[in-house]
Amino acid sequence: MEPGEVREMQNGATDSDRPVPIDLDDHSLYLNRELELLKFQERVLEEASDPANPLLERAKFLAIVGSNMAEFYMVRVAGLKQMVEAHVTDISPDGRTAQEQLDEVRVIAPQLLRDSRVAYLDVATELEAEGIHLLQYQDLDAPQRIVADDYFEHSAFPVLTPLAFDPGRPFPHISNLSLNLAILLRNPEGEEHFARIKMPKVLPRLIEVGPPGGGRGELGLRSSRKERYFVWLEQIVKANLSALFPGMEVLEAHPFRVTRDAEVEIQELEADDLLLTIEQGVRRRRFGDVVRVTLTPETSERIRSILLKNLDVDPDDLVVLSPPLGGSDLMMLADIIDRPDLRYPPFVPVTPERLQDGGGDDNDLFTAIRERDILLHRPFESFDPVVRLVQCAAYDPKVLAIKMTLYRVGRNSAIVEALLEAAREGKEVTVLVELKARFDEESNIDWARALEQEGVHVVYGLVGLKTHSKVALVVRREGRDIRRYVHIGTGNYNTSTATQYTDLDLLTVNEEIAEDASQLFNFLTGYAAGSEYQQFLVSPRGARDGIEQLIRREMDHAAAGRPARMTLKTNSLTDRRTIRLLYEASRAGVRIDLIVRGVCCLRPGVAEVSETITVRSIVGRFLEHTRIYYFENAGEPECLIGSADLMTRNLDRRVEVLVPVLDPEIVHRLRTEVLDTYLADNVKTREMQPDGSYQRVTQGPGDEPINAQELLIRRAGGKS
């Protein structure tokens, strides 16, 4: 019997006499969010192990896995532990208690991390064959040790701080994600003591020590380039502990790493100054409860016991991994090695011809947007026109005002610099800075203060709601008229991630969209809570209802025998209500193709429940970040783009914006050039099976390999 089936056996009826009722709320029809998130990390790890990927890119994937898993513990595991400690009895959509989820995570997550160590050894071996050597201190020859020890003496020693633990000195605080050495010492009287040394963030993790013999280095066999030799910082420090503890005998020293709860609770209603509250919350993050301690197999039981007791850690949260700990630091290696032959082929994002800045006339950009709506698909197409729109607006004497939402903008933001210039030029500039953008709070605080100092109207979001929408509004006087230029995106106003994530940018002067944008900003900055939108679907009030109406419309088309199909591309699908409705749509005969990069809690291909649904996940060179919701609508297609994923938080607890694409040619482009290309991918796609597992899509006999992202690069003409 398939999951969810409830067969009625009454009044003498047999199975063949009655239709089979389906309980669409059956727990077995829903996959667990935490476990699905770990499956996504497994797919990323597969890319690190895939020999088809360039070697340094594989090292990057390993770093991404390390970073993602740290966040998983800081947020997801921490959340489960909080639920257990608070005796929360709610169960997840798949029927698990918080304790049951935590128990499973404690088995699966450490194994995934151990698998990443295996992948690291493979990558390190191949790097060595390419002349990039990641050495152990004990493997250094005499000249290399001289270099390493000299680095310790002149660069490391002055900034290291040994912290003792004894009756007169409390156990030192271990900051979140810091790499440390746990050291057991013996004094001349024979007494044993514990000490800790933190590896400073100001020092690089990998230290170059030069070639064996102290020479200039031989040329790599394959690369005809100088070979590089590195050793890990903590090994250099460990080898020189006698300089830090003179007169003491070092009995043992082992690296360890602590991960803390990073969920910042903000009591907004009680906070007089939200900016100050966030700033304090960021500081508290370093002092959150410990949710994981990572150490190496060689660590003695004595040191393990000291760490567990003084960090107040459950033994189940101890993760033993082969060194090096902190896999995210491999990103440094990928950054400092100049080996184009070990990277993806370079490409230059293209700027559509009608947006190219031929003569430097700012009016050209405004004219192009007035002539017709513009859609940019980055990183295949350049993000520069969006940046240039804000820059042009800053200096254009016809521009009266600029309004923007800022979620993640990064440290060096051309967008924010342009807003600062606009304020200096006397424009009315209003910016909503989302201080609750997790892990970007400090950067956003810095920009918020800089904007305020220039007289910008800075708003810090809404009580109880995170503002995640990506909307900009430029108000311009043109003759006797006022015209509003609008940008709506799926990604952040961040020039760095614009080259690493796939996203969409829509530029338009459509009056209804412009009016909606004005209403949105009035809602965000004032008291326009009852705003009605003509085109926008805005969470938390309208996005859920709008999407559900569109799904039900496809169901009506299917019932009437009209073409009915949906293709939904999103980062995550976890909202139970949406999943249930998609099951209903499948049972009504609607064909549904889901392209979900990360977490998908829907089970496709289940008999009589989701037989018309497919789920694909694409993990490749770029992080898939576009949200595209396409509805066939009986031959009159409708397509929405925007910031919202199909998650409960996006639909009910955030300010999100989805906007319909009104130009039929752009809708056709999204269908044929974007979605169909991703659906045809047979290189980087994994397809979910009815049991929730993923299998790589493979080419059949005679099939041409299709890597969607690489194909989109070629189509854009971006190869350099």
| Active site amino acids | 468
For strands 228-232 and 206-208, give the pairing: antiparallel
User: In whole angstroms, how large is the CA radius of gyration of the chain?
Assistant: 28
Stated length of the chain: 720
H or E element, residue 268: none
Bridge partners (DSSP) listed for residue 399: 476
Contacts of 673 (CB under 8 A, 6+ apart): 712, 715
Q: What is the DSSP letter of 412?
A: S
> If we measure between CA atoms, which residue out of 658, 655, 407 comes closest to residue 541?
655
**How many beta carbons lie within 10 A of that of residue 322, not counting itself?**
15
Contact 147, 97 (CB under 8 A): no
Cis ω before 110 (30° cut-off from 0): no
Question: What span, in angstroms and rounded, lies between the C-alpha atoms of 460 and 465?
Answer: 11
Q: Tell me the C-alpha to C-alpha distance, in Å, between residue 7 and each of 11, 15, 18.
A: 13, 7, 9
CA 350 centroid distance within chain: 25
Contacts of 57 (CB under 8 A, 6+ apart): 334, 342, 343, 344, 621
Amino acid at 339: R
Strand order in the sheet with 249-260: 162-165, 192-198, 179-186, 249-260, 290-295, 318-320
The SS3 call for residue 712 is: helix
Question: What span, in angstroms and rounded, lies between the C-alpha atoms of 162 and 427?
Answer: 53
